[in-house]
């Protein structure tokens, strides 16, 4: 099982006394993040007199860094024990180049990644002053001048070079740490809000033909400010625009052939690339096959995104047939359901090709089943409620 809604993973970076711990307190409650401070975890191990604690004790007492081997053990357990959190806030990790790689691996394991590393800059003398001050009440063995100086030396030699790793990745952010606690708060919040607005909210909407997925999808897209992606309609638009692809599609239709995935993929990819600044997408009528489900995963991944929620509208078969039959007698009649034989064929297609996709998704992420009976408004309310739960915490 991996996360369906987007995680927010942030690392706070900076020299001892920069205010990482102070800022973390407000960030974890505001964004509902799981807090991981390697310093706190180590101090807990020491207090519990565990094997790891005993090994770490002397390094901490002298102001040196604890070995990467010890760090990986305490952090791996904490992360893998909490895969369902909204995201992680790392304080004081990664502190070495090796730890930056460790973090990459751990995030990959949860099928997520670090959004950004925020570095609090503070001059050395300010660090020393603050920590000596904190030492009056903190009871921390390392809050004394000799050790503080040594921690700063370790920071400059081993930790500062880590920044290059994040500069290269393009997820490095800097904040002036000598401003007031409130102003530093504001600068960090600004960065995080920007991050949040980057992450897309993507819905896949399933349902048998006649379940209302099309009309609901369009209305939901409007309500939530998402882009509606319906591959059937996109093929139609290509034909209407007389584009090169449109001509190819017409040819296939005329020969009674299926439109190959290559064409559909190109159209969706174009849609994703052209949709700058959108909050996310609602996919309807795609993926229809297992192959297409892998394609969608790959496409979203390419854009640094993933599926946020999968929803299936359920309607009993007899009602589907009666709804499609009703529609075929009106001006809304679709060319693909103007006869009983065609309607049955479409229902069967869904059954054999798309139901396995829904089952696969259900095993991987869980599919939210919505009762599709009742008025349009009733069904709309049910789906809206399902879409809102789970994202609220982050936005």
Residues 45-64, interacting with Mg ion (CB under 5 A)? none
DSSP-derived secondary structure for 296-329: HHHHHHHTT----EEEEEE--HHHHHHHHHHHHT
All residues at 6 or more sequence positions from 196 whose CB lies less than 8 Å from its CB, including other chains:
8, 394, 395
* Stretch binding ligand AP5 (CB under 6 A), from 20-28, 81-89, 187-195, 347-355: 20-28
Among 21, 64, 246, 390, binds Mg ion (CB under 5 A): 21
From edge to edge, which strands make up the β-sheet containing 309-314? 227-230, 280-284, 201-207, 309-314, 368-371
Of the pair 11, 379, the CB lying nearest Mg ion is at 11
Of the pair 66, 321, the CB lying nearest ligand AP5 is at 66
Of the pair 66, 226, the CB lying nearest ligand AP5 is at 66
Residue 66 interaction partner, one of ligand AP5, Mg ion, none, beta carbon < 5-8 Å per kind:
ligand AP5
Tell me how far apart the alpha carbons of residues 236 and 250 are, in angstroms, rounded to a whole number: 9
Tell me how far apart the alpha carbons of residues 273 and 282 are, in angstroms, rounded to a whole number: 15
Residue 257 half-sphere exposure toward CB, CA atoms < 13 A: 10
Among 184, 229, 230, 320, binds ligand AP5 (CB under 6 A): 184
From residue 144 to residue 183, what is the string marking binding to ligand AP5 with x (rule CB under 6 A)? -------x----------------------------xx--
Tell me how far apart the alpha carbons of residues 117 and 171 are, in angstroms, rounded to a whole number: 6
Preceding peptide of 140 cis, ω within 30°: no
- CA 347 from chain centre, in angstroms, equals 33
Residue nearest to ligand AP5 (CB): 39
Q: CA nearest 125: which of 232, 18, 8?
A: 18
Tell me how far apart the alpha carbons of residues 270 and 265 are, in angstroms, rounded to a whole number: 8
The answer to whether residue 38 forms part of the interface with ligand AP5 (CB under 6 A) is yes
The answer to whether residue 42 forms part of the interface with ligand AP5 (CB under 6 A) is yes
Of the pair 39, 209, the CB lying nearest ligand AP5 is at 39
The answer to whether residue 131 forms part of the interface with ligand AP5 (CB under 6 A) is yes
Among 28, 39, 230, 281, binds ligand AP5 (CB under 6 A): 39
DSSP letter at 336 equals: G
Residue 365 interaction partner, one of ligand AP5, Mg ion, none, beta carbon < 5-8 Å per kind:
none
Residue 192 C-beta: closest distance to ligand AP5, Å: 17
DSSP letter at 337 equals: G
Preceding peptide of 175 cis, ω within 30°: no
Residue 157 C-beta: closest distance to ligand AP5, Å: 13
All residues at 6 or more sequence positions from 199 whose CB lies less than 8 Å from its CB, including other chains:
6, 8, 115, 305
Residue 122 C-beta: closest distance to ligand AP5, Å: 8
Q: How many residues bind ligand AP5 (CB under 6 A)?
A: 33
Q: How far is CA 52 from CA 41, 59, 73, 155, in A?
A: 10, 12, 9, 22
Q: Which residues of 210-219 are buried (b: 16+ CB within 10 A; e: fewer)?
A: bbbbbebbeb
The answer to whether residue 249 forms part of the interface with ligand AP5 (CB under 6 A) is no
Among 11, 27, 103, 130, binds ligand AP5 (CB under 6 A): 130
From residue 366 to residue 385, what is the string marking binding to Mg ion with x (rule CB under 5 A)? --------------------
The answer to whether residue 280 forms part of the interface with ligand AP5 (CB under 6 A) is no
* Stretch binding ligand AP5 (CB under 6 A), from 128-136, 167-175, 320-328, 330-338: 128-136
Of the pair 48, 256, the CB lying nearest ligand AP5 is at 48
Residues lying near Mg ion in the complex (CB under 5 A): 21
Residues lying near ligand AP5 in the complex (CB under 6 A): 14, 16-22, 37-39, 42, 59-60, 63-66, 71, 91-93, 95, 99, 130-131, 133-134, 142, 151, 180-181, 184
């Amino acid at each position: 099982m991996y996360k369906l809604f987007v995680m927010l993973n942030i690392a706070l970076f900076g020299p001892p006394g920069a205010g990482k711990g102070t800022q973390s307190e407000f960030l974890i409650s505001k964004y509902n993040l799981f807090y991981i401070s390697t310093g706190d975890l180590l101090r807990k191990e020491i207090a519990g007199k565990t094997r790891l604690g005993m090994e770490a004790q002397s390094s901490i007492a002298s102001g040196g860094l604890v070995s990467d081997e010890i760090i990986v053990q305490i952090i791996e357990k904490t992360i893998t024990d909490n895969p369902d959190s909204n995201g992680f806030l790392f304080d004081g990790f990664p502190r070495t180049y090796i730890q930056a790689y460790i973090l990459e691996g751990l995030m990959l394991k949860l099928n997520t990644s670090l959004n950004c590393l925020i570095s609090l800059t503070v001059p050395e003398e300010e660090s020393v002053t603050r920590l000596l001050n904190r030492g009056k009440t903190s009871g921390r063995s390392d809050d004394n001048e000799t050790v503080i100086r040594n921690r700063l030396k370790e920071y400059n030699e081993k930790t500062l070079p880590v920044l290059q790793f994040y500069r290269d990745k393009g997820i490095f952010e800097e904040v002036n740490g000598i401003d007031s606690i409130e102003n530093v708060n504001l600068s960090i919040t600004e960065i995080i809000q920007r991050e949040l607005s980057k992450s897309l909210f993507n819905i896949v909407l399933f349902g048998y033909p006649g379940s209302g997925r099309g009309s609901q999808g369009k209305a939901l897209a409007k309500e939530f400010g998402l882009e509606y992606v319906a591959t059937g309609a996109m093929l139609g638009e290509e034909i209407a625009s007389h584009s090169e692809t449109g001509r190819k599609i017409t040819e296939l239709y005329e020969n009674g052939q299926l439109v190959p995935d290559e064409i559909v993929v190109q159209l969706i990819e174009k849609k994703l690339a052209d949709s700058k600044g959108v909050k996310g997408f609602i996919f309807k009528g795609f993926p229809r096959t297992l192959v297409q489900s892998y394609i969608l995963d790959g496409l979203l991944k390419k854009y640094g995104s993933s599926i946020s929620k999968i929803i299936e509208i359920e309607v009993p078969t007899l009602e589907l047939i009666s709804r499609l039959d009703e529609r075929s007698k009106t001006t809304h009649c679709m060319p693909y359901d103007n006869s009983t034989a065609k309607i049955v064929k479409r229902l069967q297609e869904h059954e054999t090709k798309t139901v396995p996709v829904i089952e696969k998704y259900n095993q991987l992420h869980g599919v939210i089943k919505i009762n599709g009976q009742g008025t349009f408004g009733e069904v709309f309310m049910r789906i809206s409620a399902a879409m809102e739960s789970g994202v609220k915490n982050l936005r």
